[in-house]
């Protein structure tokens, strides 16, 4: 416990919750302690990730233990890989079940960045990741994959997804979603933004109705209303933040 506290202090990792796993200090540790496949560690190394960032140190083991969480860390601190690496571990292999991991981001550009990183980190796993709100040719390719259950991980903005959910008959199902990740959740919660993100998120949250669904929210700031929402809606939630306290 002493050692764990020291690692957290040195990396300014704050945690709030019960039975929080210790932070990892290296990616290779994930192979020995969590049985992660070497290919995921190799892919991370190939894109230049040799040492986990503080948010990755704490959020990766949390997600590997299937904990629901709210994680906040400054912009540029590696939040994308903090959720993608555990998601790719959980998904293991392609499946016919349809979307098993759903990542929601506030803008198409952000979703594109996440999708790009996912393609790189999933190399050699055969997992199929798509972005729903691609533009041009890739867009219809993604829709076809999603509608024919040939998609394991989907990245999208709320509005594009809700457009499909509202079609009658509805061409997609979220009943196999095991992980719902909301990136930049503070932005999605801002009231008054066009499209009513909060309602859209509630709609998506409700559509992911598998009994075993897990949810993780990531953001750059620790917003009070997001925290309240998590306390109300998530199961035994862990809150983790990086940096100075109460920012």
Q: 18, 32, 75, 194: which one contacts ligand ADP (CB under 6 A)?
A: 75
The CA distance from 35 to 190, in Å, is 39
CB atoms within 10 A of CB 75: 9
**Spatial CA neighbour of 76 closest among 193, 184, 215:** 184
* Residue 166 contact partner, candidates Mg ion, ligand ADP, none, CB within 5 to 8 A by sort of partner: none
Nearer CB in complex with ligand ADP: 48/169: 48
- Can residue 79 be called a binding residue for Mg ion (CB under 5 A)? yes
- Cα–Cα distance for residue pair 164/105, rounded to 1 Å: 16
**Contact status, residue 226 vs residue 217, Cβ threshold 8 Å:** yes
Q: Is 128 in the site for Mg ion (CB under 5 A)?
A: no
Count of residues near Mg ion by CB under 5 A:
1
Which burial class, exposed, middle or buried, applies to 221 when counting CB atoms under 10 A from its CB (0-12, 13-18, 19+)? middle
Q: Which two tokens stand for residue 101?
A: 């991991």
Distance of alpha carbon 91 from the chain centroid? 13
Q: Which is nearer to ligand ADP, 75 or 246 (CB)?
A: 75
Q: How far is the CB of 38 from Mg ion (least distance, A)?
A: 26
**Nearest distance in Å: CB 223, ligand ADP:** 15
56 contact, one of ligand ADP, Mg ion, none, CB 5-8 Å limit per kind = ligand ADP
Given the rule CB under 6 A, which residues bind ligand ADP?
48-49, 51-53, 56, 73, 75-81
Q: Please report, as ranges, the residues that interact with Mg ion according to CB under 5 A.
A: 79
């Amino acid at each position: 416990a002493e050692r764990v506290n020291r690692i957290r202090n040195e990396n300014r990792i704050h945690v709030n919750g019960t039975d929080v796993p210790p932070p990892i200090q290296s990616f290779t540790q994930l192979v020995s302690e969590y049985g992660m496949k070497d290919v995921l560690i190799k892919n991370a190394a190939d894109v230049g990730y040799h040492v986990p960032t503080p948010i990755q140190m704490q959020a990766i083991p949390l997600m590997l233990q299937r904990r629901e969480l709210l994680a906040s860390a400054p912009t540029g601190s590696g939040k994308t890989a903090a959720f993608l690496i555990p998601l790719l571990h959980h998904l293991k292999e392609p499946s016919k079940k349809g979307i098993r991991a759903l990542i929601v981001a506030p803008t198409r550009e952000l979703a594109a960045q996440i999708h790009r990183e996912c393609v790189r980190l999933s190399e050699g796993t055969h997992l199929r990741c798509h972005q729903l709100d691609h533009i041009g040719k890739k867009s219809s390719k993604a829709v076809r994959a999603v509608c024919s259950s040939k998609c394991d991980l989907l990245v999208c903005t709320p509005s594009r997804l809700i457009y499909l959910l509202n079609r009658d008959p509805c061409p997609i199902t979220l009943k196999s979603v095991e992980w719902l990740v909301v990136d930049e959740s503070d932005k999605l919660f801002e009231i008054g933004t066009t499209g009513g993100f909060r309602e859209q998120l509630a709609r998506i949250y409700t559509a992911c109705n598998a009994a075993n669904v897990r949810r993780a929210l990531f953001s750059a700031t620790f917003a009070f209303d997001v925290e309240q929402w998590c306390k109300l809606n998530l199961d035994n939630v862990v809150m983790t933040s990086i940096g100075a306290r109460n920012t």
